[in-house]
Structures are given as C-alpha cells and as structure tokens.
Amino acid sequence: MALQTIVEQTVSGLGYDLVEIERSAGGLLRITIDMPWQSGTPETFVTVEDCEKVTRQLQFTLEVEAVDYQRLEVSSPGIDRPLRHEQDFERFVGEVIDITLKEPIGTQASGQVAANRKKFRGTLEKVLAADGSTGWQIVWSDEPPVKPGQKVSKKREPLPLNALGFALDELREARLAPIVNFKGRATRAGQE
C-alpha cells in the first residue's frame, strides 16, 4: 500500500485532515494534520495532545506496513498553512494569502504589474462568474504598510487596489500569509 494512502486512512480514521506528507533526508517523515472544517462552525485548532495521538497510531501502523523511516514528526500546519484543495480556499476566503503562479503573468498584466511577476500577497476572494461558476481572485495594493507611529498625510491619495483572477491549476504554491498579531486572534465576520 502507498505511503500516502496509509497515512491518509490513519489520520482520517482518527478524525483529522491530512494536510501534507514530507519525506526529508535522514529518514525524517513529517506529517501535517489539521482539524476538519465545516462552514459556519467555530474553528478548532490542533493541540499537542492531538499530535501525540496521531503519532502513536502512525508509529504502530507504519511498523505493521513495514514503511522505512527513522524519525516521525506530526504537527499542525502553523501560521503559514499550505492551501492545496478547493475546500482550503473556501475555508480561508477573506484571509491574506501568498500565491506563486506556475507561469509569469505576462501580457495579461496590461502594464499594471511587472510582466514577469509570479508572486503575490493579498486578500483571497471568491468570485461568481456570469455563467454561474465560481473562481478565485487575490486583491492587493502595492502601497507599503504604515509603520507604527508613522504619520500619514490625509491629503495623500492611496494607491489603487489590484485584482488577479486565477484557477487552482495555475498555482505552483498557495499559503496563508504568516502575519502575527500579538493582540489576540481576531474573530471573523459572522462568528462570535
């Protein structure tokens, strides 16, 4: 049985979602898990106890299946969580993400951004097309962020927002932007 299948069955059997499997040099097998997500329910997070529970079960399962590895790490996805599936994008609509395109934007940029640009950081939005299908776009401004204590002139015109529509198969990589707020976790609209 393939490693992906073994790990996925074990993790989902314990009630978690498999985010990523990574094999590194030296026999390290790194498994990233997350709590299942359902729209409209409060978000729950992976704890150390959850990682320990999955580690114990995976150690047993990998030994039975004779999978060769030296060290096993099970962790949560962290603040720079990779977005791989349609459901991940649904879950994080309205969040700031980093995307890397497979190909540079090219002539589609129309001079608004560099034609060879592949990396973008902005807010993820879901877009409803005229034909009823849904798509994705990222919205950003090239204006530098205001530093704490910096005064901003009220007369200064803000730079316009840019938007880039994309399909999931055009992405090389998508991740949540690792933005740290030391004042606590902000609640999303519609959640208490």
Residues 142 and 145: their CA atoms lie apart, in Å, by 9
pLDDT at 178: 85
Answer yes or no: pTM beyond 0.85: no
Interatomic CA distance for residues 12 and 18, integer angstroms: 7
pLDDT greater than 60 at residue 124:
yes
- What CATH number does domain 3-75 carry, 3.30.1490.20, 3.30.70.330, 3.10.105.10, 3.30.300.70? 3.30.300.70
Residues 86/168, Cβ–Cβ less than 8 Å: yes
Sequence ranges of the domains in the chain: 3-75, 86-176
CA–CA gap between residue 125 and residue 57 (Å, rounded): 38
Task: Please give the average per-residue pLDDT across 38-63, as a whole number.
Answer: 89
* pLDDT for res 99: 93
Reported confidence tier of residue 108, pLDDT bands at 50, 70, 90? low
Is 189 a residue whose pLDDT tops 70? no
Q: What pLDDT, on a 0 to 100 scale, did the predictor assign at position 110? A: 64
The DSSP symbol for 132 reads: S
Name which residue leads in pLDDT, 170 or 150.
Answer: 170
Q: Which of 43-52, 73-82, 108-117, 174-183 has the lowest mean pLDDT?
A: 108-117
CA atoms within 13 A on the CB side of 114: 8
- Per-residue pLDDT for 60 more than 70? yes
- CA separation for the pair 66, 152 (Å, rounded): 62
